[in-house]
Homo-oligomer: A and B are copies of this chain.
Amino acid sequence: MPARNTVQRAIIDDALRRLANHPTADEVYEAVRAEHPSIGKATVYRTLKRLSDEGEIGRVRINNGADHFDHQSFSHYHVRCERCGRVDDVMIPLLGEGVNEAAAKASGYRILGHVLQFDGVCPACQTAEKNDEASTA
C-alpha cells in the first residue's frame, strides 16, 4: 500500500510547506482552494492525516481547538499563544528517555512517548496587551 502520487497530494504537501507557521487543516484548505477551487475539504483532511501518519509531516494536537500541522517532521516541542492561538516551535533539548523511564516506574505503564507543550503569549500579543493597558488606563 504505497501512497499514490496524486495531484492533490502534491498540492497539499506544497501548500503546507509554503505556509508560514503551523497552519490548521482548515487554513491549508483555504490556501489550497485559492488556487485549486475544486479540491475538497475532506481531501485536505485525509491527505494531511496520511502525510502525518507516514511521518512526512508533524501534527500538533491542540487541547482546545483545531490541530496544527508542521512541515518539519522531526520531534520538537511547541508553544501555543493563549490570545491568538498561533503555534510556534520551541527549540529546547528534548527531555529524553529519562522522563519516560521515570514515568513508567511511577505509573506501571509501558511508556511509548510523551508530549510537552507550552502555553503562553506570543510576542505580537504581548505588544497588543501593552497597548490595551495604555488605552484602558
Contacts and interface: CB of A to CB of B under 8 A. Distances in A.
A99 B103 contact: no
Contact of A118 (B103, B118, B120, B122): B103
Contacts of A61: 63-64
Given A63-B115, A113-B118, A115-B116, A90 B108 contact: no
A26 interface: no
A99 to B, nearest CB: 7
Given A61-B63, A61-B64, A64-B61, A111 B103 contact: no
Nearest to A91: B106
A114 interface: yes
Contacts of A118: 100, 103, 107, 109, 111, 113-114
Interface string A54-89: 000000010110000000000001010110000011
26 contacts: A61-B63, A63-B115, A77-B103, A79-B103, A79-B111, A90-B106, A90-B107, A91-B106, A91-B107, A92-B103, A92-B106, A100-B118, A107-B118, A108-B123, A109-B120, A109-B122, A109-B123, A110-B121, A110-B126, A113-B118, A113-B120, A114-B116, A114-B119, A115-B115, A115-B117, A115-B119
